[in-house]
Amino acid sequence: MASAAITAPAETPRVGVRRWLADHPYAAYAIRRTALFVLTLWGALTVTFLFFHLIPGDPITAFIATLEQQNIYGVEAGKEAIEHYKELFGLNGSLFDQYVFYLRQLLITRDLGPSLINFPTPAQVAIYRALPWTIGLLGLSVIISWVFGVALGAFAGLRRNTAASQWLTNVAISLSHVPNYLIAVILVFIFAYRLAWFPPTAAYDPHYEKAFTLEFIGSVIQHGFLPALSLVIVFTCRDLLSTRTLIVPTLGDDYLTFAEAKGLRRGHVIRQYALRNCYLPLITGIAIQLGFVVSGNVIVENIFNYPGIGNLLVQAIRTLDYNTIQGVVAMITFMVLLANLVIDLALPFLDPRVKYWR
C-alpha cells in the first residue's frame, strides 16, 4: 500500500501593501524610521511639557505680585491681570487642557505665544533672533574642528610610532577631558584681560549698526573668536582621537597590502581605502553634532554673554517662561532627531554593508 505523500501547505502570497513593502525594502525601512522619528518626537515634547509644568511655582502670579509691591497694580486689578495673562499664556484649566493648548499652538497654529522675558514679543521671534548667533558660533566650530580633527587623527594614526604622533595623541587625550567652559575662562583671562587682544563679552560692538559691512562683520569675528576657539580646541581633540582609533586597526588589513602590491601610491591607498572605511562613523558623528548645534552651549554663551540659544534658555528657565522654554526644547529635540533620521536614511547609500534591519 503506497504511503500518502505529506506536502506542506503552500504559502499564501502577500498582496497589497505587504507585497509592495516586500518588493521595496528601502521604502519599508524609511517608513519604519520615519514612524519611529514621529513617535519619539511626540514623546520628547510630552515629557518636556510635563517636566516644566509640574515644577512648583506660577510665573504669572509671581510677576504680578512684584508689580503689586511696586504699587503698579492694586489687589483687585492684580487678580484680573493674573486671569488675563494666564489665559494669554495658556495656563488656565487642568494640566490636560494646557497640554492640548500647547500641542495646538505648536503643531497647528505654529504660534508659541508671548515670551515672558520679552513680553509681548512672541516666543518664536525671540528664538529666531538668538538662533543665527548660535548656528554661526557652534556650526562653524563643529565644522572647523571636524576637518582639523580628522586630518590630525589620520596623521596620528599613520605615524603612530613617531614622537610627533605620540605627543599629539597625549595632548588630545588631556584636552578632550577638559570642560570647554574651563578653557573659555582661561582664554578670557589671558587674551581678554591680560593681553587685551579680544573683547571678553557680547557678540559685536554696539557702536556698529547691524549690517553686512566690513566693520560689523569684523566686530562679529573679533567677539566670536574666543568662544569659538574654546569649542574648537575640545571638539578637535575628540575628533582626533576618534579618527586615530578608527584608522589604526585598518592599517594592517589584507586589502591595503594588496592595493599597495598592485602599485598604487600609498597616499591614494590611505585616502581611497583606509580613510573610506572610517567615513561612516565620522559622518555619523558630525551629523549628530550638527543636530545639537541649535541647542547652543549654555555655559560658554553665559561666560561671554553671547546672545545665543543657550543664553536665552537660561534666562527663560530663571523666570519659568514656559513658552520660550518649550519652544527652544522643541526645536532642539526636532533637530537632533531629524539629524538621526537623515543619517539612518543615508547610511544604506553611504555603505552597502548596512542592512535594512526589521
String of DSSP letters for 108-122: II----B-STTTTSB
Distance from C-alpha of 156 to C-alpha of 162, rounded to nearest angstrom: 9
User: At a CB cut-off of 8 Å and minimum separation 6, what does 70 contact?
Assistant: none
pLDDT in tens, 75-134: 555 566 666 666 666 666 677 877 888 888 777 777 777 777 777 778 888 888 888 888
Counting as low any pLDDT under 70, the low residues of the chain are 1-17, 21-24, 56-93, 252-253, 271, 291-296, 350-358
The whole-model pTM stands at 0.72
C-alpha grid cell, residue 133 = 548667533
- Tell me what pLDDT residue 8 has: 46
Q: Which pLDDT score is estimated for 3?
A: 46
The number of angstroms, rounded, from the C-alpha of 238 to the middle of its chain's C-alpha atoms is: 16
Nearest-angstrom CA–CA distance, 309 and 306: 9
- Is the alpha carbon torsion for 159, 163, 168, 171 positive or negative? positive
Instruction: Single out the residue of 297, 345, 329, 273 nearest to residue 135, CA to CA.
Output: 297
Query: DSSP assignment of 180-233, as one string?
Result: HHHHHHHHIIIIIIIS--S-SSSSS-TTS-SSS-HHHHHHHHHHHHHHHHHHHH
Residue 60's pLDDT is: 67
Q: What pLDDT, on the 0 to 100 scale, is given for residue 2?
A: 46
Question: How many Å is the Cα radius of gyration of the chain?
Answer: 28
Residue 1 has a pLDDT of 43
Which CATH superfamily does the domain covering 135-350 fall into? MetI-like (1.10.3720.10)
